[in-house]
Amino acid sequence: MYVVVVDILALMVFVAGVRLLLKSSRTGVGGAKSEIASPDPGTYGRRIGGTMLAAFGLAIGLMVTLFHFASAG
Task: With beta carbons less than 8 A apart as the criterion, state whether 17 and 55 touch.
Answer: yes
Span 9-53, pLDDT tens digits: 999 999 999 999 888 766 555 555 655 556 678 888 888 999 999
Q: What is the DSSP letter of 33?
A: -
pLDDT value of position 72: 81
3-class DSSP state of 1: coil
Residue 71 in this model has a pLDDT that exceeds 60: yes
Domains of the chain, residue spans = 2-24+42-72
Provide the Cα torsion 39, 45, 50, 51; round to 10°.
100
**pTM for the predicted model, two decimal places:** 0.76
